[in-house]
Amino acid sequence: MKNKVVQLFKTFAITLFVAFVATNKENFVYNFIEKLGYESDLLKKTVLSALIALFIGLMLEISSYLVGKIRTNFKRMDVTVNTKLNGNKRTTMKFSPTNYEYFSKNVEIEIILKPQGWIPTLLIKKLGISFDIYFNPELLDISFRDKWDNNLDGIYKLYERRISINLLEKVNIKGNSFKERPYKLTEQFNVKPIRVKNDETSLDLVIMSSKFVKIVRLISKCLIKVNFEPLIVSCKGEE
């Protein structure tokens, strides 16, 4: 429906422009035909009608091509966030205590980036757009599985009970093959409830930026399409 309306407006605008040219008896088509030695009004109108049809067709094709290119360049990046337990995608996790204590569990966070339009990709890179992932409410302690929690060199960074992932910080977007394949960013964490209690929490996500945070939050939906199903964690208290 939307495409049909846009097409109608384009046709209207082009036809209106051509109509102003055609109704002018001094237009260049009539002048050219007269210079060739033809004075017939029927011939002039026939040639003009054919040229109008050709012009409208060409302009519609060119405008459709340009609109398609613009849409492609502005297409949002697809970002999928998965949570895995023991290598399998999961959306639920349960903790049960043993002798009034929980044992930590390993959770892998996998982010899959699928580049689309170059303009959103460039803005994501330049603005330093990142995901902040955390449990809401913050009932779990989080730590890296195989490195120190204060390690700030990697893509994943840990700030107390919040995980920050800068999406394109370590990705070169200038290569010819950049848009031809998805990119995976993965990291493993140990998680453990703070206290033994019947409670429930879930993984949540917010889009952040190293620059112009408020503006980025407003335009983020124009840059990124996020596919995210939160991990729901239930904690069983000691009976």
User: Where residue 147 falls among pLDDT bands split at 50, 70, 90?
Assistant: confident
Mean pLDDT computed over 207-212: 88
**The whole model's pTM is what?**
0.75
List, in sequence order, every beta strand (DSSP E) within 76-180. 77-85, 88-89, 92-95, 105-114, 129-136, 140-144, 156-159, 162-166
Q: Are 190 and 142 in contact (CB under 8 A)?
A: yes
192 pLDDT exceeds 70?
yes
Tokens 């370590």 locate to 170
